[in-house]
Amino acid sequence: MKIIYSNKHSQHDPPYEIYDGRREPYAEKAERITSILRALKESGLTVFFPPKHFSIKHIHDIHQKEYVSFLRKRSAQLKQSQVLYPSYFIMDTYTPITNKTYTAAKTAVDVVLTGAKYLLQGEQTVYALCRPPGHHAGHKTMGGYCYFNNAAIAANYLSEHGKVAILDIDFHHGNGTQSIFYDRSDVFYISIHADPHIKFPYSSGFANEQGSDEGLGFNKNFPLPLETTNAQYMCVLKQTLKRIQVFNPSFLVISAGFDTYEKDPIGGFKLTIPFYEKISQEIFKLKLPALIVQEGGYNIEDLGKIALSFLKGIDRILKTQLRSKDNDSEFYKANQKTSKKTKKTPI
């Protein structure tokens, strides 16, 4: 499995967010990715691939040009210590701009597009370890710590080569991703998340949101109550995977948020660390070329352990599939030899 990573994500590190009118420590901090990197390196995964540079066109395919230009210019105008909450193009008070926000966000896009390109070149699974996250970013809005919608940009890029399913397993509904593909039938967005009646983003993620126009039926939400357990979650996950099988995509993009963890400070589910291995094993039974895009997850102490558990599940299922292919190949070769011998025998 290739892991794509750039340390430029750390250049975006606002000191605070605004919650209920008060300054609070910024939850989406650079240490999140440091935690994951440390766990991967300790497990022996030490080879990381740098992102390649991609044209801004791929961002413009998803985001309004005026919005992209605004983010680039306002970010560049700020001094190193400045933090800006703009008066427009923003949907909440959790998503400030700093002087390196654009650099980090653009690099995150390069990370996921590099991963997508590797899929097109034949890789079966790629992990885009990117930051800031993206699934709350809409066509012309930043929000929920997100600036550019990494998963949506990658899915749109892949959609030129076949149908794409986006499976969003973040604790919070990916309102930005849903809105971007809501009227499209070539990209199926399916999400398991906390009930938006009680958790961010509050305004979307309800079960009756199923797409519009050509996209009707290609958007599916599974809102779950707080305190959802491993067993309850697995039951719903299997339902989503059946729907993806019916859609029969060429590619799978996973918005991998790990804030579903039982100790996440802004979550509310009861999923345990070992359970993430079971989640990924179940997903990868689909046998689809898959791009894993890092989204949320805010328990810095355990985030690396969660990510490693998820990747272990993938490794386990891929090895099983590889052994199966090898056995099939040996069976094929044996039958070919038998067939050739049979042909030499007169009837």
- Domain 2-328 fold is Arginase; Chain A (3.40.800)
Whether the per-residue pLDDT at 345 is higher than 60: the answer is no
d(CA 193, CA 172) in angstroms, rounded, equals 5
CB within 8 Å of 78: residues ≥ 6 apart? 84, 97, 98, 99
**Phi, psi dihedrals of residue 194, rounded to the nearest 5°:** -75, 150
Does this model's pTM top 0.75? My answer is: yes
Closest by alpha carbon to 136, among 75, 217, 199? Answer: 199
CB within 8 Å of 76: residues ≥ 6 apart? 99, 102
Catalytic residues: 136
Model pLDDT for residues 43-90, shown as the tens digit of each residue: 998 889 999 999 999 999 999 999 999 999 999 999 998 999 999 999
- pLDDT-derived band at 325, boundaries 50, 70, 90: low
- pLDDT-derived band at 326, boundaries 50, 70, 90: low
Whether the per-residue pLDDT at 342 is higher than 70: the answer is no
Model pLDDT for residues 133-182, shown as the tens digit of each residue: 999 999 999 999 999 999 999 999 999 999 999 999 999 999 999 999 99
d(CA 321, CA 316) in angstroms, rounded, equals 9
Model pLDDT for residues 185-239, shown as the tens digit of each residue: 999 999 999 999 999 999 999 999 999 999 999 999 999 999 999 999 999 999 9
